[in-house]
C-alpha cells in the first residue's frame, strides 16, 4: 500500500528534525512551506519534494494535499489557529488524505479549565471529527525552549519564570520527531491513538538550569516571579493579549504541578529512554555562547 507523507511545519523545531529522520529512513515524503522562497538561499532542498501553500488558503492546501496518504499536521501558535485547523481538515477531506498525525500539546482537552490545553483539545476534536484516521502526539514543554526564545536569559545567567518551584517533565524535540517518524512510517498501527510525550525526568526549573550550567561550566540561576509579574512583563514586551493569556495559563499549569508527570509513551514507542536534560544541554551548549 502506498504511503506518501506530507510534513507541515517542516522548517520548525520538530519538523526539521522529522525531515532529517524521514530522509534517513528513505521515506516517500514531501514537505509543505507556507510560501515560495524569495531568495536563492531559500531554494527547495534537492533531496525531497517541496510543496507551497499557506494554512490560510484552503484551495492551495487542497492542491498541496493531493496524492498524500499520511499528513503530519503542525500548526504554528497564531491567534486564528482553530480557523487554520478548519482549513486543514476541509482540505484533507477534499484531497482524500487517509491518515492525519497531529502534533498537539500535553493535556489537550476541549473541556480543559486552562486556555492552552483547551485550544489544543479543540483542534484535536476538530480533526477527529473529519472521520479521517487520526493519531495525536501530545508533547510536554520543549527542552529546546531554553535554546530558542529563552536563550538570552540563559546567557544572562538568570532565568525568570512564574512556575514556582514545581517540576516539569520537559521533552527534547528530537524525541518528538522520532515518535512522529515512527508513526508516519506505519500509520495504520497507530490509528485512533493519542500519545503523551514527556521526557523521563521530572525536574524543577533550577534542576533543569543546573544541567545547562554544568554543560556551560558556570551556574545559571532560576528566579521565580509571581503570575501577575509575568503577565505585566509580557504586556510590557508588547505581546498580544491572546499570547499573554495562553502563557499565563501555562505558568499556572506548571506551578500547580500538572506538568510533572512522566508518561511511558516515548520509551514504549522508541524502545529506549527519552533524551535527558543533561544530554540536551551538552548537545545545545553552542546556543548559549
With beta carbons less than 8 A apart as the criterion, state whether 245 and 115 touch: yes
Nearer to ligand NAP, 56 or 79 (CB): 56
Nearer to ligand NAP, 33 or 58 (CB): 33
**Range 149-178, binding ligand NAP (CB under 6 A):** none
Which of 10, 22, 27, 215 binds ligand NAP (CB under 6 A)? It is 10
Contacts of 189 (CB under 8 A, 6+ apart): 183
Helix axes 58-65, 81-95, angle to 10 degrees: 40
Q: Binding marks (x or -) toward ligand NAP, 16..45, rule CB under 6 A?
A: -----------------xx-----------
Closest-approach residue to ligand NAP (CB): 12
Which of 9, 187, 200, 213 binds ligand NAP (CB under 6 A)? It is 9
With beta carbons less than 8 A apart as the criterion, state whether 199 and 140 touch: yes
* Shortest distance, position 171 Cβ to ligand NAP, whole Å: 8
User: In a 3-state reduction of DSSP, which class is residue 130?
Assistant: coil
**Range 100-119, binding ligand NAP (CB under 6 A):** 103, 105
d(CA 90, CA 18): 25
Binding of residue 14 to ligand NAP (CB under 6 A):
yes
Backbone phi, psi, residue 234, to 5°: -65, -40
For residue 38, the cross-strand partners are none
Nearer to ligand NAP, 14 or 101 (CB): 14
Distances in Å between the alpha carbon of 184 and those of 103, 120, 217, 255? 12, 20, 39, 34
d(CA 250, CA 228): 13
Size of the site for ligand NAP (CB under 6 A): 23
**Range 45-84, binding ligand NAP (CB under 6 A):** 54-56, 74-77
**Range 229-248, binding ligand NAP (CB under 6 A):** none
Range list of β-strands (E), 170-275? 194-197, 203-204, 221-224
Residues that bind ligand NAP (CB under 6 A): 8-15, 33-34, 54-56, 74-77, 103, 105, 139, 141-142, 145
Amino acid at each position: 500500500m502506498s504511503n506518501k507523507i506530507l510534513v507541515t511545519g517542516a522548517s520548525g523545531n520538530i519538523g526539521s528534525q522529522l525531515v532529517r529522520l524521514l530522509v534517513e529512513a528513505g521515506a516517500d515524503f514531501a514537505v509543505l512551506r507556507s510560501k515560495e522562497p524569495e531568495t536563492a538561499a531559500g531554494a527547495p532542498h534537492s533531496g525531497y519534494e517541496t510543496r507551497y501553500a499557506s494554512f490560510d488558503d484552503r484551495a492551495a492546501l487542497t492542491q498541496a494535499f493531493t496524492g498524500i496518504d499520511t499528513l503530519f499536521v503542525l500548526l504554528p501558535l497564531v491567534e486564528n489557529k482553530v480557523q487554520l485547523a478548519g482549513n486543514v481538515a476541509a482540505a484533507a477531506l477534499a484531497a482524500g488524505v487517509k491518515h492525519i498525525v497531529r502534533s498537539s500539546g500535553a493535556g489537550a482537552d476541549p473541556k480543559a479549565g486552562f486556555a492552552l490545553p483547551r485550544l489544543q483539545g479543540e483542534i484535536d476534536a476538530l480533526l477527529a471529527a473529519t472521520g479521517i484516521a487520526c493519531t495525536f502526539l501530545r508533547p510536554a514543554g520543549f527542552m529546546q525552549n531554553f535554546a530558542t526564545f529563552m536563550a538570552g536569559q540563559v546567557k544572562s545567567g538568570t532565568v525568570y519564570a512564574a512556575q514556582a518551584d514545581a517540576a516539569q517533565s520537559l521533552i527534547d524535540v528530537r524525541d518528538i520527531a522520532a515518535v512522529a517518524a515512527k508513526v508516519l512510517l506505519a500509520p495504520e498501527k497507530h490509528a485512533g491513538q493519542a500519545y503523551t510525550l514527556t521526557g523521563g525526568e521530572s525536574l524543577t526549573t533550577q534542576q533543569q538550569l543546573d544541567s545547562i550550567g554544568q554543560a556551560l561550566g558556570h551556574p545559571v540561576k532560576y528566579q521565580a516571579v509571581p503570575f501577575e509579574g509575568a503577565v505585566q512583563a509580557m504586556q510590557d514586551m508588547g505581546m498580544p493579549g491572546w499570547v499573554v493569556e495562553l502563557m499565563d495559563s501555562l505558568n499556572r499549569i506548571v506551578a500547580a504541578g500538572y506538568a510533572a508527570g512522566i508518561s511511558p509513551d516515548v520509551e514504549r514507542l522508541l524502545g529506549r529512554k527519552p533524551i535527558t536534560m543533561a544530554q540536551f544541554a551538552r548537545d545545545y551548549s553552542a546556543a548559549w555562547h
